[in-house]
Amino acid sequence: MTRAARLNTLGPIARARRTAASLLRLGTSALLTWGVLSVPPAPARATTASGATVHTRLRVHAPVRTQTVSGRPGGGAAVASPGAAVAPPGASAALPGAWILVDVDTGVVLDAHDERMPLPPASLTKILTALTVVNAVHPDASVPASVRAEAMPARKINMKAGQVWSFSDAFHAMMLSSANDAAVALAERADGTVERFSQDLARVAKEIGLQDNPLLQDPAGLDDAEFSINGGNLISARDLAIAARAGLANPVIAEAVANPLYRFHGPDGSDHKLGNHNQLLKSYPGAVGMKTGYTRRAGECLVAAARRDGRTMLAVVLHAPSVYANATSLLDRGFATPVGAEAALTDHLPPVRQPAAHQAQGSPAPAAAAASSGTRTPTAFLTHRAAHLWDQPPALAAEAALVGLGLLRLRARRRDRQRRTLRSTQWASQSLD
């Protein structure tokens, strides 16, 4: 067959290949769009001038006022109290999955619903991570970043393997900006590996008096199939309230969660400005912090504390349609409850206890960086991130989908050019023959 005949034969084949590639890209785009649109709505977010991401308040129905049944050891099923406000018809869909309201000073449970049901807590886990690391790592210690910490998904402070961060900077990044890489680096600094840190979390849970058999495995609160430790954590709203009371009693944790803004010069040579993700610090009078959380599985979660007129109230809401509206309603109810009325309530959290101090097992020096950085390709990166795409809010998922499609298209074009070059070389050699 002559060279001209070969070229004529190639035309339809090339056209068919291009058509198939176009159909494949169209199908991929449709699939990704469907996946993005199927993600449950995330809370409204806005970016401040400082670059910090904050949540905006959404109007939803407030939780029904409930009171724990008296006489049941350790609390009981939540029932409507006499004269309590009743949610409007159809409001049940707007209620959190579980909540609890506690007077921090007395430990009295003022309001609760499904507070003993273990649920995914997302980044609320970092309260327990904080309680564990502050009793193991000295405030002046250094925190090296590992390859594992660098590989953590957003939210993150963009640690790189081999960098050495100060404890204060890593700790504030974890508690204010919910940085997952900082949580892993701190866990490794405390116990050497994340797996050993999981065992330490169980020890701390027992020492501070958690009562509902929490499952604590991941220091960052991740619960996806790719990045989490064994699928993540399960903990009740009541146990989170116990941990939060212990955290507020620790000066290192209390200072961090109440700080609306933290600035530092990082080991990456950049000046960082971390805004606290807890929007109640700006919108609710007397707010003193605590912690926000979100994953697709856990939904929106919040531990919120506020102090007024010598009283401190704590609200925990899990899987909430609007964490700020729900938490605000609970805190308002707490401050409106006279101190004398608490005598009629029988459910109390256990006394505040701090975990025992122990010697840090992790190394203060960075581990040798893995040699895999030179083999990372766009395709490998996409494979690494694909499973976590659906755990992100829709805007992030859409952005990741567009980037992924662009990289796949570039790869297809590069392979097509390589094939054409190879065929041209083969035809030229055959023609010479």
Give per-residue pLDDT as tens, 225-274.
Answer: 999 999 999 999 999 999 999 999 999 999 999 999 999 999 999 999 99
Residue 427 reports pLDDT greater than 50: yes
Q: How confident is the model at residue 411 (pLDDT cuts 50, 70, 90)?
A: confident
- Rounded distance, CA 129 to CA 186, Å? 8
Contact 102, 110 (CB under 8 A): yes
Contact 180, 154 (CB under 8 A): yes
Class of domain 53-344: alpha beta
Identify the pLDDT of residue 26: 59
Cis peptide bond N-terminal to 155, omega within 30:
yes
Identify the pLDDT of residue 105: 97
Q: How confident is the model at residue 94 (pLDDT cuts 50, 70, 90)?
A: confident
What percent of the chain is predicted at pLDDT more than 90?
60
Q: How confident is the model at residue 40 (pLDDT cuts 50, 70, 90)?
A: very low
What percent of the chain is predicted at pLDDT more than 70?
66
Task: Parse the chain into domains and list their residue ranges.
Answer: 3-39+393-432, 53-344
- Candidates 300, 280, 266; CA nearest to 173 is 266
- Rounded distance, CA 190 to CA 143, Å? 9
- Rounded distance, CA 87 to CA 60, Å? 11
Identify the pLDDT of residue 363: 72
Residue 205 reports pLDDT greater than 60: yes
User: What string of H, E and C letters represents the secondary structure of the chain?
Assistant: CCHHHHHHHHHHHHHHHHHHHHHHHHHHHHHHHHHHHCCCCCCCEEECCCCCEEECCCCCCCCCCEEECCCCCCCCCEEECCCCCCCCCCHHHHCCCEEEEEECCCCEEEEEECCCCCECCHHHHHHHHHHHHCCCCCCCCEEECCHHHHCCCCCCCCCCCCCEEEHHHHHHHHHHCCCHHHHHHHHHHHHCCHHHHHHHHHHHHHHCCCCCCCECCCCCCCCCCCCCCCCCCEECHHHHHHHHHHHHCCHHHHHHHHCCEEEEECCCCCEEEEECCCCHHHHCCCEEEEEEEEECCCEEEEEEEEEECCEEEEEEEEEECCHHHHHHHHHHHHHHCCHHHHHHCCCECCCCCCCCCCCCCCCCCCCCCCHHHHHCCHHHHHHHHHCCHHHCCHHHHHHHHHHHHHHHHHHHHHHHHHHHHHHHHHHHHHHHC
Residue 290 reports pLDDT greater than 70: yes
Q: How confident is the model at residue 174 (pLDDT cuts 50, 70, 90)?
A: very high
- Rounded distance, CA 413 to CA 248, Å? 56
Higher-pLDDT residue of 348 and 28 is 348
Identify the pLDDT of residue 430: 56
Task: Calculate mean pLDDT across residues 130-147.
Answer: 96
357-399, pLDDT tens digit by residue?
A: 888 888 776 654 433 333 334 444 444 444 444 444 555 556 6
Q: How confident is the model at residue 67 (pLDDT cuts 50, 70, 90)?
A: very low
Residue 125 reports pLDDT greater than 50: yes
Q: How confident is the model at residue 54 (pLDDT cuts 50, 70, 90)?
A: very low
Of the listed ranges 226-235, 291-300, 326-335, 382-391, the least confidently predicted one is: 382-391
Task: Calculate mean pLDDT across residues 68-77.
Answer: 31
pTM of the model: 0.67
Higher-pLDDT residue of 24 and 251 is 251
Q: Which two tokens stand for residue 155?
A: 């939210």
